[in-house]
Amino acid sequence: MKIKKNDTVLIISGKDKGKRGKVLKVLNQDNRVMVESVNLVKKHRRQKSEREKGQIVEIPKPISVSNVKLICPRCSKPTRVGYKILDDKKLRQCKKCKEDFE
């Protein structure tokens, strides 16, 4: 997968189209990513004891990796990603500015 944890991505489809966010978690088996403050779902929590109240919390749900586009850390534009092998090291490369990044 070309998107990794802590990358900044742009949402290109869905209810949060146009938002930017940081990748919190990558789920390789499902081809999904969790992005902060995107695709928030309300979940009802039960009270665990009599002192504690039940509440409604918003949690992020994973979205498909095909619905996000990586934002290049060098040129700050949404871009596709290629790979470049350099001295037994595989580097990601921005398709717009041709800069390598980790």
User: In this predicted model, what pLDDT tens digit does every residue of 8-40 receive, in sequence order?
Assistant: 999 999 999 999 999 999 999 999 999 999 999
Beta bridge partners of 26: 33
- Least Cα distance to 21 among 32, 4, 7, 2 occurs for 7
Distance CA 31, CA 63 (A): 9
Q: Are the C-beta atoms of 65 and 72 separated by less than 8 Å?
A: no
Distance CA 6, CA 97 (A): 21
pLDDT at 1 over 90: no
Domain ranges within the chain, ordered by starting residue: 1-71, 75-102
Mean pLDDT of 50-70: 94
Percent of the chain surpassing pLDDT 90: 87
Q: What is the pLDDT of residue 40?
A: 94
Can you tell me whether residue 73 is helix, strand or coil? coil
- CATH number corresponding to 1-71: 2.30.30.30
